[in-house]
Amino acid sequence: QQRTEAGVLTFAAYERLGGMEGALARRAEEVFAALPPAVQGALPYVLRGLVTTNQKNDDVAVARRVPLAGLASTPERDALLRAFIDARLLVTDRADDGQPVVRVAHDALLLHWPRVHHWLDEDREFLRTRQRVLTAADRWREEDQRPEFLLPEGKPLASAEDMLQRRRGDLDRQAVQFIEASRRAVSGARQRRRIVISGVVSAFFVLAAGFGMFSYAQWQAADLGKKTALTAVQRLTYDIPARLIDLPGSRPVLRQIFEENIALLDRIGDARAKSEQRTNLRYMGDIWLLLGDTPKAGEAYGRSLALAQDIARDKQNANAQWELAVAHTKIGDVRLQAGDPQGALAEYGKSLGILNDVALRLKNVRVQRDLGATYQKIGDSRLALNDAPGALEAYRKDLEVARRLAGQGADAGARRDLSVSHGKIGDVRRAMSDLPGALEAYRQSQAILLELVRDRRNVVAQRDLSACYLNIGDIRLEQGDNAGARSAYDTSLALCRRLARDRTNARAQRDLLVSYTKAGDVRLASGDARGAIAAYAESLALARELAGEAEDSGAWQDLKFVFERLRDARLQAGDQRAALQAHEQSLTVALRIAGNDASAPARRERAGLYRDIGTTRRELGDLPGALAAYEKSLELYYELGRDKKNAQAQRDLAEAFAQVADLRREIGGKVDT
């Protein structure tokens, strides 16, 4: 006799079953075996909720307490939970907020039930990654959600994002919120770096033009044939590209111009042409960098550096040394934009050493400006390396130079440099979570810019002021001052609207896109979903127009981001279908950005995107469209699954087969293997 009349296990039976541990495992197997197959299929999901790994030994499963409602999210899961609760294998309780929670009754069940061991072997990597994320998320919440406690860029965030993409349904709300907050922080940091780099390159773009005009003025006495050729070079290097740079779709024309220009300079070939060629190559690199073509910029700057090194062999020639410093700075710009801040820092260090020497020999304001700009670039590199204290030190040195130059009866350019230096201090203060300090620095920058924009012809100052208001709005939003953020964003938007009246200026149109998006963000944060949707609709129109003209992925990234924001606003407005449609469009753009890279990680990313598109279409009721996406996902997973030693690839493939088969059954079609 195994049990008494009341159904209680007898002591003898208990002993025969191996004591408490064996009894629990056998009882769990009995309860599980009595359940219908559909309910049994819910066990892996329930275990993922109830179990995690030991932090010191991930071979050991340990119980965790979770909200009951979230775990019992389908009839099958609810039935399995109820059966195990009735058998007293699971126990329920209430959390501090009164919410029902559930956990495994005895850890011994996890140690001795073979099904748990089998499942743990298959899902160990997921559990390990999830536990790391949950531990980090708990610390983040304990530290008042300060940004420095989010996941950093690199492997920790990449692993978490991959888990979110593949296993979102197995993660609780806190984990999803933490990963998405980390992703937004890293994305924002990348965008700030792009803005920093673009602004610095623009400054040197103007400087290079000045050099070129000066050198040509000295050649007026040249013979007519060479003078005509050099005049053509001047137009091809400075005049025409400057007019085309902001026009959508201008890259093919600029590429042709530069190629012809290099050929002209090679044909001229004398010593003066060689010196001018160095400056021309540097200017070409500036424009390539503005256009986002880093390899082309690096090629042009590399050739310019080689020429500068040749001329700078004369150590007594301070001007030649200065040119060499600028050439090293340009190489640093390329490395920073290419995502190599350590390499950029090395080049900026070379430039700084030369400029410090040149500044003692040449009492020249422009040398001083280059010295300050180099400190600023060193700060940018330090910030990109997450060395905020190092960045702050470099920015302070830049600020010292800018203050000195701005106090010498300075022109608008020096005052603008000072405003940029204050803005950099604001950026690093923000990175250090010093929001009051960041706001004070941005206010100092704002005060200077408000003086400069009194000259309505100063378009650069107007653009800077618009960006400054965006920074102030960001700080206000992070401080919870939605009204203050909205005021700052709307002021920026008004400036951008005025600057974007020229529809052919792609840079001004992109600035307007960002301002509309920020205006939508603050309205969404304030619960004004309809206002947010209206603002995002304006952003969307601009993003579509810019993406249609773009060769690089930057404009397509903007379009993807706007669709995501529109999705969030539609959800807040309660329009589930429109939110799903926006989500599908975002995924479709992401698929375009992913391209056709044949590497395994890229194919896996595309497979995941097709899978998500299929899921979204299925939720929208577009079953044929969903099936087409699932089948495309299956094709890619099938190729990846040829590697039989890759357990993850095999799991992805099995899931893809199941999705296609399940949907074909739902549609009523043939299921083949």
Kindly report the CATH number that applies to the domain delimited by 595-667. 1.20.58.80
Query: Which range in 12-16, 192-196, 303-307, 415-419 is most confidently predicted, on average pLDDT?
Result: 415-419
**pLDDT for res 403:** 93
pLDDT at residue 550 greater than cutoff 60: no
* Percentage of the chain exceeding pLDDT 70: 79
Token pair belonging to 422: 């204050």
509 burial type by CB count under 10 A (0-12 exposed, 13-18 middle, 19+ buried): buried
Q: Which residue has the tokens 């040394």?
A: 321
Is the dihedral angle over the CA atoms 265, 267, 268, 271 positive or is it negative? positive
Choose between 447 and 9: higher pLDDT: 447
User: For residue 116, with 0-12 CB atoms within 10 Å meaning exposed, 13-18 middle and 19 or more buried, which class applies?
Assistant: buried
Asked if 14-146 and 187-377 have one fold, the answer is no
Q: Give the model confidence (pLDDT) of 370-416 as tens digits.
A: 999 999 999 999 999 989 999 999 999 999 999 999 876 668 889 99
Contact 340, 385 (CB under 8 A): no
**Topology classification of domain 14-146:** Arc Repressor Mutant, subunit A (1.10.10)
Tokens 């044909």 belong to which residue? Answer: 267
Spatial separation of the C-alpha atoms in residues 448 and 20, rounded to whole Å:
76
Residue 269: strand, helix, or coil: coil
CATH of domain 187-377: 1.25.40.10
Q: What is the 3-state secondary structure (H, E, C) of 288-300?
A: HHHCCCHHHHHHH
Helices (H) and strands (E) in the chain, counts: 30, 5
**Range with lowest mean pLDDT among 163-172, 268-277, 359-368, 513-522:** 268-277
Q: Which residue has the tokens 């039930």?
A: 113
pLDDT of 598: 81
Longest dimension (CA), the chain: 118
Confidence of residue 505 (pLDDT cuts 50, 70, 90): confident
334-345 pLDDT tens trace:
999 888 999 999
User: Domain spans of the chain?
Assistant: 14-146, 187-377, 595-667
> pLDDT band at residue 239, thresholds of 50, 70 and 90?
low
The answer to whether 651 and 641 have CB atoms below 8 angstroms apart is no
Helix spans in 34-113 (H): 37-40, 43-50, 68-71, 75-86, 107-112
From CA 519, how far away is CA 565, in angstroms rounded? 12
Which range of 178-192, 266-280, 504-518, 542-556 scores highest in mean pLDDT? It is 504-518
Q: What is the rounded distance in angstroms from the CA atom of residue 515 to the CA atom of residue 501?
A: 15
Amino acid identity for residue 518 in this structure: K
Is the per-residue pLDDT at 252 higher than 70? no
